[in-house]
Every structure is written in C-alpha cells, then in structure tokens.
Chains A and B, each alone.
Chain A
Amino acid sequence: KAGVTQTPRYLIKTRGQQVTLSCSPISGHRSVSWYQQTPGQGLQFLFEYFSETQRNKGNFPGRFSGRQFSNSRSEMNVSTLELGDSALYLCASSLWDRVRGSSYNEQFFGPGTRLTVL
C-alpha cells in the first residue's frame, strides 16, 4: 500500500499571500489530520476531517482552514500568510478497525510540506 503523500514538498511564499497544501491518505483511511511543526512550538494539531466533515479543531486562527473530498483527499489553506506560519505541515491518516485493534489515534504520517514565508 502506498503511504500518505503530500504535495508540494517545499513551498516559498511571501507575507500576505495564501497557500494550499494537499494530502492523499492511505487507501481506505477516512480520517485525515493536519499538524504544524515548528522549533518553537513543536507539533501542534490543526484539525481533523472525517467523511468530508471537520470533527476536531486545534487552537489556530481562522486563517487556517481545510476541507476533505469524497475520496478522502484533504487540502489545507492558509490565508494572509505571516512569517510565523513558516513550518513543516504534516498530514496523517488513520482508520478505525476493531478487528485489527487500530484506532483513529494510530496515525500514519506523510513526509510533510515545508512552508517558508518571506
């Protein structure tokens, strides 16, 4: 099975611009979560999508948004970029399987998108 893929891998933007990042989950996984990783704040949860609905959200401003499509692929958008938005953005997918004993907590991560805001 292919893993979680994220595009693009690297992105350079300037302040005030907006950006869209894409994530394709592992086949069959319906939950997609997004995290921001910075040296100062560590790994912080942004939001989770399941069946095209946002069901969990972290403590980020409204400039950060996302969506999920019917094929479980997800995008996140950051509008009006600030210097502090420079980070590695990680996407993770998961599924709940009682038989295998896995849960939505057991998340499989993509390689991330490195966003640099100048």
Chain B
Amino acid sequence: AQSVTQPDIHITVSEGASLELRCNYSYGATPYLFWYVQSPGQGLQLLLKYFSGDTLVQGIKGFEAEFKRSQSSFNLRKPSVHWSDAAEYFCAVGAGLTLGRLYFGRGTQLTVWP
C-alpha cells in the first residue's frame, strides 16, 4: 500500500536561509509525487509534481524537488526562504494514473524568523 512519511513535524528557518523538507514514500510502481502548501484556514495549493523524466522538477514560488528512486525520497528545496513561505507543507503520492486519490504525509509546519 502507498504511504508517505514526512519526518519533520516542525522546521524553523531564518528569512533568506535555504530550506529542505524531507519526504519518503512507499509505492510498488512508478510513483506520482506531489508537494502541496497550505496556509492557515486555506485549501491546498499545488507547488510541483513529478510523473516521469527529469528527476529535478521546478515548481511555483521558487521551489524545486528532487526524485531519488534509490532512496524513495522526494525532498522539497528552496534556496532562499521568504517570510511569506511560512505555512504547512504536504508531500503526497498518487494511487495511480487514472485514480483520483492521493496519500498524504502528516505535513511539515514551516516557521520563518525575520
């Protein structure tokens, strides 16, 4: 069965510092991987996705993620964090190309210090 682990519940970084949020997945076939961001009281916004091809994917708001099959990881990175990036970040794996079902990690809460 599919599952996603986000080892870090809460991360605090200073504005301007680099960021890496970790995500490990469990899936028997080629995974369809996503990162979403959620601001307080809001729904989920898609940051980026990986289906196939280049293992380094670019997303919105300056985020990127790297798929590493050997490590079953899909870590999210940003070279310089802005105060507006403070939010909760969710990693998710899809159930299959034709199924509208995602398995989510428990999320990582990001705090940004000025």
- Which A positions have Cβ atoms within 8 angstroms of B? 4, 31-33, 35, 42-43, 45, 48, 50, 55-56, 58, 90, 92, 94, 96, 101, 103-112, 114
| Contact yes or no, A111 B32, CB < 8 A | no
Once the chains bind, are A50 and B42 in contact (CB under 8 Å)?
no
28 sampled A-B residue pairs with Cβ under 8 A: A4-B43, A33-B100, A33-B102, A35-B102, A42-B105, A43-B90, A43-B104, A45-B101, A45-B102, A48-B100, A48-B101, A50-B100, A56-B95, A90-B43, A101-B51, A103-B51, A104-B94, A104-B98, A104-B100, A105-B95, A105-B97, A105-B102, A106-B32, A106-B34, A107-B102, A109-B43, A111-B41, A112-B43
- Which residues of B (33-57) have their CB < 8 Å from a CB of A? 34, 36, 41-46, 49, 51
Q: How far is the CA of A101 from the CA of B57 in the complex (A)?
A: 14
* Cα–Cα distance between A50 and B34 once the two chains are bound (Å): 21
Min Cβ gap B37→A in Å is 11
Q: Are B43 and A110 in contact (CB under 8 A)?
A: yes
Most buried by B among A4, A101, A105, A114: A105
User: Chain A residues near B102 (CB, 8 Å)?
Assistant: 33, 35, 43, 45, 92, 105, 107
B45 pairs with A109, CB closer than 8 A: yes
Tell me the smallest distance from the CB of B53 to a CB of chain A, in Å: 9
Given the interface contacts A90-B44, A103-B94, does A48 sit within 8 Å of B51 by beta carbon? Answer: no
Q: What residues of chain A lie closer than 8 Å to B106, measured between beta carbons?
A: 42
Interface centre among A101, A107, A108 (most CB of B within 10 A): A107
Residues in B lying within 8 Å of A, measured CB to CB: 32, 34, 36, 41-46, 49, 51, 90, 94-107
Taking a contact as CB atoms under 8 Å apart, the answer to whether A94 and B100 are in contact is yes
Closest Cβ of chain A: how far from B92's Cβ, in Å? 8
